[in-house]
Amino acid sequence: MPSRSASATHPVAGIGVFDSGVGGLSVLQALRRAQPQACLHYVADSAFAPYGERHDEEIRDRSRRIVEHLLAQGARLIVVACNTATAAAIDTLRREHPDTPFVGVEPGVRPAIALSRRKRIAVMATEATLRSERFRVLVQREAAGGFAHLQPCPGLAAAIERDDADSPGLQALVTRYAEAVRAADVDVVALGCTHYPFVRDDIARVLGDEFMLLDTADAVASQAARLWRAPATEVDAAWCRLEATGDPQQLRRFAARWLGMAAAIAPAALVL
């Protein structure tokens, strides 16, 4: 990923992106692929992760603070790179910032149903996403006439955040939830949390060949590209700034390891 200045603090017209932690990096990667020239500013709210096990009011409060920070730094488009924050907060954020375009992330129920031979799908997501009114309406609209097995995965996002990829604790959670999905007699699985693509291969190994896994990162990036209005004064090179409210080194390690982003990108610690 091209990066010019990770430490600039002056406002730069760019795309603001946030998640509870490292999960949104799966969306950041797709955004960079779709828009090599845009400046990207990512906030990992790792001091407050996981969101999926928090109350909606708390998730809204965190989302609000982060969006205000991103806007103050010059963001002109916000990508809520988190299914849980989208479910709990995006309506409020849009109401409070009517002039700012927002793109959210939702489980790909519609593409999953379209791809399923027998119209039987599963959605793996956080408890907060699955209990939300927004998700209930989505399933009712997009899976009508089909079947959707809803698989909450408590602890999985936190383990991805915290553990090494091959840690027994993380692998035990993957196995438990993937086996529950396999038992549900479905053929397409929507990864409804932006952390889960980082264990996609592990989930696929437990499920076996006859299952298809999908996430919505590329669709989100395309939608952001449609809404993005590049600033009149172009910066001379695309730029990516990473910030974490928790341990910035953990975000750096993750970005370097999973995304091949230059290890030189040093995420800043952020207090919000």
152 binds ligand DGL (CB under 6 A): no
Cα(74)–Cα(190) distance, integer angstroms: 33
Catalytic residues: 82, 193
Size of the site for ligand DGL (CB under 6 A): 16
Distances (CA, A) of 219 to 84, 111, 149, 229: 17, 10, 23, 18
Q: What b/e string do you get for 129-162 counting C-beta neighbours within 10 Å, with b at 16 or more?
A: bbbbeebeebbeebbeebebbbbbbebbbbbbbb
27 binds ligand DGL (CB under 6 A): no
197 binds ligand DGL (CB under 6 A): no
Interacting span for ligand DGL (CB under 6 A) from 44-52, 182-190, 240-248, 259-267: 44-52
Q: Which amino acid, 232? A: A
Q: Which amino acid, 156? A: L
32 binds ligand DGL (CB under 6 A): no
Instruction: Judge if the upstream peptide bond of residue 50 is cis by omega within 30 degrees of 0.
Output: yes
- Estimate the crossing angle of helix 83-96 against helix 133-142, to 10 degrees: 110
- Interface pick for ligand DGL out of 35, 129, 216, 245 (rule CB under 6 A): 129
159 binds ligand DGL (CB under 6 A): no
Q: What is the smallest separation between the CB atom of 57 and ligand DGL, expressed in angstroms?
A: 16
195 binds ligand DGL (CB under 6 A): yes
Cβ pair 8, 239 in contact under 8 A: yes
157 binds ligand DGL (CB under 6 A): yes
63 binds ligand DGL (CB under 6 A): no
51 binds ligand DGL (CB under 6 A): yes
Interacting span for ligand DGL (CB under 6 A) from 17-25, 108-116, 249-257, 258-266: 17-25
- Interface pick for ligand DGL out of 84, 116, 151, 216 (rule CB under 6 A): 84
Q: Which residues contact 82 (CB under 8 A, 6 or more apart)?
A: 18, 19, 20, 23, 24, 51, 105, 194
> Among residue numbers 88 through 127, which ones bind ligand DGL (CB under 6 A)?
126
Cα(47)–Cα(248) distance, integer angstroms: 10
Q: Which residue's CB is nearer to ligand DGL, number 104 or number 248?
A: 104
In three-state secondary structure terms, 267 is coil
62 binds ligand DGL (CB under 6 A): no
Q: Which residues contact 16 (CB under 8 A, 6 or more apart)?
A: 41, 43, 67, 70, 71, 73, 75, 77, 78, 79
Interacting span for ligand DGL (CB under 6 A) from 34-42, 50-58, 93-101, 226-234: 50-58
Q: Which residue's CB is nearer to ligand DGL, number 49 or number 188?
A: 49
Q: What is the smallest separation between the CB atom of 141 and ligand DGL, expressed in angstroms?
A: 20
Q: Which residue's CB is nearer to ligand DGL, number 127 or number 187?
A: 127
Binding site for ligand DGL (CB under 6 A): 19-20, 23, 49-52, 82-84, 126, 129, 157, 193-195
